[in-house]
Amino acid sequence: ILIFLFFYKQIAFSIGYEAHPEYVLWFAFIIATDAFVSIPFAKLRKENKAAKFATIKLINILVNVGLNLFFIKLCPYLIDQNPNSWVAVLGFGDISIKYIFISNLVASIVTLILLLPDIYGTKPEFDKALLKRMLIYSLPLLLAGLAGMVNETLDRILLKVLLPASSDIMQQIGIYGANYKIAILMTLFIQMFRYAAEPFFFSQAKEKDAKKTYAKVMKYFVIFGLLIFLFVMLYIDLIKYFIGADYREGLKIVPIILLANLFLGIIYNLSVWYKLTNKTKFGAYIALIGAVITIVLNVVLIPKIGYMGSAWATFFCYFSMMIISFFWSRKTYKINYDFKDLLLYFTLALAIFFFYKLFSNARQYYCKIPC
């Protein structure tokens, strides 16, 4: 924070925001606040206070979205109705990106205030030995997180660079992004699972039947994940109306992205082996391998098949990471997952999807035949 307080103007100039150096300062406070509240959030997860955790997270989202709607939609409307309204007096009438940052900052501050009771009374201590163990354990996970960001975001950047010049590049990126968001239900499911599962995995580590429990968690995770996959794909003809008609040509990437995200969720399940055995360096290796696969496949496929190349790159990245993590786990922390059942669930779900797709295509074909 101190670095940004003293040098935010210089930083703003170096990244092209010299006209609005205050943005850099807001970014710094948002990041610092979010980093600080991650500790009490971790405490809530450790104490299994899922309801409070979810409530505060939900309030954060509601405040953020609510303020965005207020500044960007309601304020201009109120000024249109009355140019001398209190909104105009306060200077909230313009439509500007700054309100997105302000909304985010206010939401972060509200979250911090809500977590103050959990922070208050906590006695700060410095334990050199504990810090060393934490760094050894967490630094590989930090590296894995950075590699994970490559896997999640690099496709949009590479699309802009590698799409053929003859195509409407921004249109193609828009199509990809809009259809990618249809998989948000799977993404939310995986995010909720991560928040709940990781503290649970550690709490069960010393139990006699811990490995059986982890296998059962994997089983039900896959079941619910496949149900989400089927729900989205069987109702895609309704869900597609959440995006504009111009973007619907990209619906073909939706099943690929859904399955890719399901593989990512399985990777989080499998990660228990290196997290419980303090071999987090393997998590970094797996993520780095995934990042290399993402880069190589995007570079190879985008010039040939456009945004479909990015979708398949995501699919094969997470599929490869899942397979690698599984086989490495067999040597260190072997969990007897019920492969027959898991394979059966995948087969049934994919069979239902393909038969539905076949029936849907046949129905559309016969409907086009004139009587």
Q: How far apart are CA 96 and CA 86, in angstroms?
A: 18
Statement to judge: residues 18 and 161 lie in one domain: no
Among 65, 86, 119, identify where a domain stops: 119
In this prediction the pTM is 0.77
pLDDT per residue as tens digits for the range 204-233? 888 888 999 999 999 999 999 999 999 999
202 vs 349, higher pLDDT? 349
pLDDT, one tens digit per residue, over 228-250 is: 999 999 999 898 888 888 888 88
Residues 149, 261, single domain; the answer is: yes
pLDDT at 287: 92
57 and 185 inside one domain: no
Read off the pLDDT of residues 287-332 as tens digits, 9 standing for 90 and up.
Answer: 999 999 999 999 999 999 999 999 999 999 999 999 999 999 998 8
Token readout for 183 is: 């998989």
Query: In this structure, are 115 and 143 located in the same domain?
Result: no
Both 139 and 258 in a single domain? yes
Residues 294 and 352 in one domain: yes
Same-domain check for residues 108 and 201: no
In terms of Cα–Cα distance, which of 201, 183, 205, 204 is closest to 193?
Answer: 201
So what's the pLDDT on residue 371? 47
pLDDT of residue 32: 86
- Domain of residue 191 covers 128-368
189 and 67 in a common domain: no
| pLDDT of amino acid 270 | 93
Residues 269 and 194: their CA atoms lie apart, in Å, by 9
Q: How many domains does the chain have?
A: 2
Q: Final residue of a domain: which of 119, 138, 155?
A: 119
Lowest mean pLDDT of 148-157, 235-244, 262-271, name the range.
148-157
pLDDT of residue 96: 65
Q: Residue 156's pLDDT band (boundaries 50, 70, 90)? A: confident
pLDDT in tens, 10-45: 777 776 667 777 777 888 888 888 888 888 888 887
